[in-house]
Structure 1
Amino acid sequence: MEQLQINTSSKKYSVWVGEGIRFKLSEYVPDSLQQKVSSVLIITDDQVAPLYLQDVKDGLGNQFEIFEYVVPSGEQSKSFQQYYDLQTYALEKGLDRHSLIIALGGGVIGDLAGFVAATYMRGIPFIQVPTTLLAHDSSVGGKVGINHPLGKNMVGAFHQPEAVVYDPQVFQSLPLHEWRSGFAEAIKHSLIWDVTFYQWLQENIDDFTAIKGELAEQLLLRSIAVKASVVSEDEKETGIRAILNFGHTLGHAIEKELGYGKMTHGEAVAVGMIFAMRLSEQQFDISLPVDQVKAWLTKLGYKTEIPDHLDADQLLHTMKKDKKAQKGIIRMVLMKELGRVEVVSVDEEPIKELLLKSIKGE
């Protein structure tokens, strides 16, 4: 069992990584909570529930009163309606300020369940139990929330979990598109922060079926360590934490314009990262290994160009609504060199020109 400590200004907590850890979950409920928990609400989705819900319930043992709530899988569940229904369910079941929420699932469940925890009775504790590779990014750092029809993750809060309990055994049930979605965030962490991690990824992973056992644990620990380093410096995203949005300005716009759930988050971010690297070359008059990264992504099954039926003007309009934008001016995370990025205000014209080229596959 491996442990990684997350230190933020508001809370310190552990990330536990180990195969089979889901079967003994009660051992990883922090001591500070053990005697206080009045009840547990497990929030999961209809894809995860048949696979791992009983494992987690068994892992909690008989010391807690346990409730469960299953939502439809997919980005569409990060909605006001699901959020409202969950609040209603919690009230009906009598959850109180000493109740604990467990988010059992991928990033959607973590965001939704975390936001319910952040706002129920003005905040109750929750534990992340991720079941996807993608969730290694979203489960750490305390960002929780839901989508609005006008933008992704526009309604939310910062609410750190009490612990993150990660069992890489669950990866073996992931479909291929979920592998791609999660691995894109690991690539992102390496590109923005840790060149040696980028090299390690290229040397060790050219096939998702290889990600198991010790390799899976090392991948999680090294990638989460990047997130932990950034979050420890800037918990509320007032400064450096914004660099974690590398590839996300365009990625989120693609997700919205396609319709949430039509392309996975990580696959959209992969397109966004290639776009950001190309724009970086133009803005800073530098040369980056765009072709190398693009070839690696392509080999792993990613599409690296914007879907050709999307409209450049509409994408630009959506990018202007990004949370980093200021007074309608687009601010993007651009790369100065591998392992070093910064947030930069960018004029619309070069963005639009590059959008048009990417849509045409140039």
Structure 2
Amino acid sequence: MIRTHAFAIGFDAVGFAPARLGSEARDRLVAFVQAGYHGDMGWLASRIDERSDPQILWPAARSVIVVGFSYAPATDPLEVLSKPSQGAISVYARHRDYHALIKGKLKHLGQFIASRFSCEFKVFVDTAPVMEKPLAQSAGLGWQGKHTNLVSRSYGSWLFLGEVYTNLEIEPDQAASNHCGSCSRCLDICPTHAFPAPYQLEATRCISYLTIEHHGSIPHELRPLIGNRIYGCDDCLAVCPWNRFASATSHEQIIARADLTAPHLARLSALTEETFRTTFTGSPIKRIGRDRFIRNVLIAIGNSRDRTLRVQAASLRSDPNLVVADAAQWACDQLDALP
């Protein structure tokens, strides 16, 4: 009944897991933090116990309903990388912020369950200490691939995840097994070599981390490797062979906005605080703020080899934000050094 209703309200995948995780998930998280791979993401280190044990987060929890929502793109997300005067935005951020959309559906599902079975529930979408990917694997939705992201046999690497914790006892599904085999495409394509080993991510070298979570200046040695990626990176996701089974999402709410598919760097570099907020209202990009976003745009301009963009970079060398000013000077230096 729960699964049928979840499909009816728009979820693409549904699975059931016990409200517990094995020691392997905790051990991997602890090793990740101890190695310093989490960088500025202090929230990963601060609540390890709650993150690695659902019953510490909520002692009454007995089962976890894990749902998946496909955001598979209709076109090759890496195509824009061959257009260096345009910006590459991660597929998940080319439309409205998925958090509110999925949370609303999860609340609907939770209320449906509570009304039928007189139970309690809590819902989570990537904003609480919840280890979504290990829970999704336990619920049978997919497995954590060598790039550490979830891989689904039906939806490839393109699933948003959400969870309903409940005190209802539900028979769990069979956990998913790993089907990566000898494939290493996701590891091999990473521009910054952010995978020290399969199933390990050094986030401080990951372009998604550098362009979204990192607050300060991006290390100089990594800037040329970022290319024109201005918000996130899809390389390791996009090359997964399992994506061939994923059809483009049918959810109209998250179809890519035309102006965010391959936006011109010149236009983006001119965004003020006000126009940034207006442009990205309802978008996850708004979360990082104008300064971090313009920093990313300037790194892309420096990598563009397009001298016509120098005037935009030069105009930002005196920006009040020192990180932006530094990126602007770097961009000018890169374009001035072209033969």
TM-score (norm 1): 0.32
TM-score (norm 2): 0.34
Structure number with larger C-alpha Rg = 2
Which structure's relative contact order is higher, taking Cα pairs within 8 Å and 6+ residues apart?
2
Q: Which has the higher strand share?
A: 1
